[in-house]
A = this chain, B = another copy of it.
Amino acid sequence: MLIRYGVRVLTEKETKHEESVQTDNVVLIGRKPVMNYVTACITFFNSGEKHVIVKARGRAICKAVDTVELLRRAFVKDLEIKSINICTEELDRAEGGQSNISSIEIIASKAENNQSQEMK
């Protein structure tokens, strides 16, 4: 599930990056209500995935944290946050020039009893 942002142009590097992560269980946070993204995460876990990557940029960062916290608090009691990374992405603006935007990546995994967890 990849939700793209409004109007913006992806750099070549970034496009490759997004393509490379599409095979993983990525929930990209956009403008929808938090519950939509929580549901997306639950769906991944229910389909047998061991971990989910929640990504967000700019103002959606707080929604990413909300998503993971709501998921942990209300739905997946044994949710474990494997790692949280922040970085800056450079975007080419449609009208020319570049802008820097902060982004966050939260990797959450569901601890399953009696099963070995293999995380990369």
Residues of A within 8 A of B (CB): 58-62, 65-66, 68-69, 72-73, 81, 84-88, 100, 102-104, 106
Contact = CB atoms under 8 A, between A and B. Distances in A.
Contacts of A85: 84
Given A73-B100, A100-B73, A86 B68 contact: yes
Copies of chain A in the complex: 2
Nearest to A100: B73
B59 A102 contact: no
A57 B23 CA distance: 32
Contacts of A88: 69, 72-73
B106 A69 contact: no
Nearest to A56: B62
Given A62-B102, A84-B84, 15 more contacts: A58-B62, A59-B59, A59-B62, A60-B62, A61-B61, A65-B103, A66-B102, A69-B88, A69-B102, A72-B88, A73-B88, A73-B100, A81-B86, A84-B85, A84-B86
